[in-house]
Amino acid sequence: MAHECIIDTRGFQETAGVSVEDIAKRLIDYGFHAPTMSFPVPGTLMIEPTESESKAELDRFCDAMIKIREEIRSIEQERWPRDNNPLRNSPHTAIDLADDSWNRPYSRKEACFPVQSLLTDKFWSPVNRVDNVYGDRHLFCSCR
């Protein structure tokens, strides 16, 4: 019996300019650790819920994925531009929320509190998106 599922996100690159990385990083805004990307199939997410997750937590994850699909639909329908939307700019930090120079075509609430439950129980990413390829190619030791 398999213990994971693979979600194919490749079609969203064409319809909305949304990459597998955009979806994985957006899940951070919903309070989830970004899942494995592009393994074993490029352009997919490998979701591995463990037996220790409650039904409520699995439902919360499903709700997040449904909401992210709605966000992708907003890009497909040109409500948000392909290059400046909650998926492309995720994860959002507390500093983003407090920044007086917010100039994005979506609200701070849409960015930081995409579902109601996050108003009372929110994990804040300490950093915005990092350039994964740059980091992979320019390793440095931070050990003392």
Residues 109, 122: Cα–Cα separation, whole Å: 12
Between 2.120.10, 3.40.50, 3.30.420, 3.90.1150, what CATH number should domain 5-137 receive?
3.90.1150
pTM of the complete model? 0.88
CA neighbor of 123 nearest in space, from 138, 110, 113? 113
Domain segments of the chain as ranges: 5-137
* Three-class SS state of 6: strand
pLDDT at site 1: 52
- Convert the pLDDT of each residue in 7-65 to its tens digit: 999 999 999 999 999 999 999 999 999 888 988 899 999 998 877 888 999 999 999 99
DSSP bridge pairs for 6: 46
Residue type, 23: I
**Which residues are CB-neighbours of 68 under 8 A, at least 6 positions away?**
23, 26, 27, 30, 87
CB 12 within 8 A of CB 45: no
